[in-house]
Amino acid sequence: MTSSNNAGLQVRKNAATPRGVGVMCDFYAARAENSELWDVEGRRFIDFAAGIAVCNTGHRHPKIVEAIRTQLDQFMHTAYQIVPYESYVALAEKIVACSPGNHPKKAAFFTTGAEAVENAVKIARAATGRPGVIAFTGGFHGRTLMGMALTGKVAPYKIGFGPFPSDVFHAPFPNPLHGVTTRDALRAIENLFKSDIEAARVAAIIFEPVQGEGGFYQAPPDFVRALRKLCDEHGIVLIADEVQTGFARTGKLFAMQHYDVLPDLTTIAKSLAGGMPLSGVVGRAELMDAAAPGGLGGTYAGNPLAVASAHAVLDIIEDEKLCDRAVMLGNRLKARLEALKSRVPHIAEVRGPGGMVAVEFCKPGTTTGDGEFAKAVQKRALERGLLLLICGVYGNVIRFLFPLTIQETVFDEALAIVEDALLETAGASK
């Protein structure tokens, strides 16, 4: 059965799929190239969502398509844990070499970001013999039970799904705009050690160098240094969740390269394989070896087609200098948004490293989040053919996740749409 229009597909979707799978758009993709996609009715859209930060290298990059086709002609699946293949080993070598730090490291591959997080926690627990994990408010770490337990945002991720795994605790994430300092966050961790779990029972502290779903808040350097010092003092594993920040998005291959300290373990996914399902954990060799044989893995973990795509992604990032391009494009976008502040008083802050840019909206003259304004901007942009994503605990942040390969003319077109949507929404709110 086929449908040639969006309305027919929407009826079928509502009848066959559950409402718990939230879908932003009411139109259906037919094809995509680089930063553009077209729906089944032929309408064109500029994609500033990039599959939720998955397509840093754009849709259907020719090198990725060719790499997958070549692998498809060889074999599709053996299960790496049954019959291994060189491409997995070679990718692990590349990730070890390009991830922060010159110490001995190892890497293992999985399928989803949530799997990477779960396995990082397993590794930390196996290495330390401890149960506790500390995460942060506003953090997002996946939709599995452990992922939800770690996530510091209730709606929509946790509603109705408890109870969650125990020995997971949250501290506030530094957020100067909303009055949370590094000192506040660190004091909260010390209070956890006093009131909830002693430091000697904590296996890991997990954080995002730049919070994704939480609103694109970047961890301050003094906070990251303090976490490293705290972990060293108490024998705790420091996990950097780079599922959304990795692979050139922030202007570095890894966001932790913006800091002068190193994590013990790093989780990766999303743009690692340019649209194919692949994730991983990379970290200190002695920690990675803590789990017994058979304790890590999965039937589809390190799928050959996804691994082939990841090799191509790393080549593209280097060959096309996408880290530099992320900085250049991000600076242009931030400058355009900053210039609109005097005409759009709802703009409370423009932020983000490299091409991981966000604009936060608050009611003018306050720090009270204005989610309705964000939704109105998103709606007006979509009406003009630009896909934007909303994030933030209060749903008042628009995040810009343009492919780093985006064509100059398309990028300029998108910026004009953003400006028009902001000015129209500001005018309508007076």
Please report, for the chain, the start and end positions of each structural domain, with discontinuous segments joined by +. Answer: 6-60+321-428, 75-319
One CATH from 3.40.50.2300, 3.40.50.1100, 3.40.640.10, 3.40.50.1820 for 75-319: 3.40.640.10
Cβ atoms 152, 139 nearer than 8 A: yes
Question: If you average pLDDT over residues 58-67, what whole number do you get?
Answer: 98
Q: What's the rounded Cα separation, in Å, for the pair 50 and 314?
A: 17
What pLDDT sits at residue 244?
Answer: 98
**Segment holding 118, helix H or strand E:** helix 113-128
**Segment holding 78, helix H or strand E:** none
What pLDDT sits at residue 428?
Answer: 84
3-class SS of residue 409: helix
Q: What's the rounded Cα separation, in Å, for the pair 410 and 268?
A: 29
DSSP assignment of 363-391, as one string? STTS--B-HHHHHHHHHHHHHTTEE-EEE
Sign of CA dihedral 23, 24, 26, 30: negative
Over residues 152-209, the pLDDT tens digits come to 999 899 999 999 999 999 999 999 999 999 999 999 999 999 999 999 999 999 999 9
DSSP assignment of 243-270, as one string? TTTTTTTTSSSSGGGGSSS--SEEEE-G
Q: What's the rounded Cα separation, in Å, for the pair 363 and 128?
A: 46
What pLDDT sits at residue 430?
Answer: 65
Which residue, among 275, 261, 234, has the nearest Cα to 132 in the 3D structure?
234
> If pLDDT is split at 50, 70 and 90, which confidence band does 323 have?
very high
> If pLDDT is split at 50, 70 and 90, which confidence band does 412 have?
very high
Q: What's the rounded Cα separation, in Å, for the pair 72 and 423?
A: 48
> If pLDDT is split at 50, 70 and 90, which confidence band does 3 have?
low
Q: How would you classify residue 423: left for phi > 0, otherwise alpha for psi between -120 and 50, otherwise beta?
A: alpha
Q: What's the rounded Cα separation, in Å, for the pair 386 and 378?
A: 8
- Six token digits for residue 46: 């500029």
What pLDDT sits at residue 342?
Answer: 95
| Cβ-Cβ contacts under 8 Å for 78 (sequence gap 6 or more) | 84, 85, 304
CATH number for the segment(s) 6-60+321-428: 3.90.1150.10
pLDDT of residue 145 exceeding 70: yes
Question: If you average pLDDT over residues 324-341, what whole number do you get?
Answer: 98
**Segment holding 358, helix H or strand E:** strand 357-361
| Phi, psi (degrees; rounded to nearest 5) at 397 | -125, 135
pLDDT of residue 331 exceeding 70: yes
pLDDT of residue 120 exceeding 60: yes
Question: Between the CA of residue 264 and those of 42, 146, 158, 286, 407, what are the distances in Å?
Answer: 48, 20, 28, 10, 37
The whole-model pTM stands at: 0.96
Max Cα-Cα span within the chain:
64
Average of per-residue pLDDT values in the chain: 97
What pLDDT sits at residue 98?
Answer: 98
